[in-house]
Amino acid sequence: MRTRFHLACAAAVALPLASVSAQHSMYSYTGPTGFDQLGRAVAGIGDMDRDGYRDFAVGAPQIASIGYVQLFGGADGRLMRTLKGSDIDDTFGYAVCGDFDIDRDG
């Protein structure tokens, strides 16, 4: 299944996700502040939770000057995990990538 990501920039940044085939919104995510840049980077990360659906990572590099990356489930859009940067101004979440199995466990 292919997924299209629409990014919207406004005071409160929202990240709506839509199915290409159906052309309707599947999920919509809003960052806690207007300055976190949620959706600056988005990547498919394979099937992390092994439910048969491709999951995805969404970067937000500037929340409180320490960025984060959120991992979402492709089946239902639920938040699976949040990874946070360790230092102020490290811009963690500025770029994300995926779709490879580092430890070859599936």
- Give the whole-angstrom CA distance, residue 71 versus residue 80: 5
When mean pLDDT is compared across 3-7, 11-15, 96-100, the lowest value belongs to 3-7
Q: Which two tokens stand for residue 104?
A: 């070859």
Note the pLDDT of residue 91: 86
Q: In whole angstroms, how large is the CA radius of gyration of the chain?
A: 14
pLDDT at 15 over 80: no
| Average of per-residue pLDDT across 83-100 | 86
Q: Would you kindly state where each structural domain of the chain is located, as residue ranges?
A: 3-84
Note the pLDDT of residue 2: 38
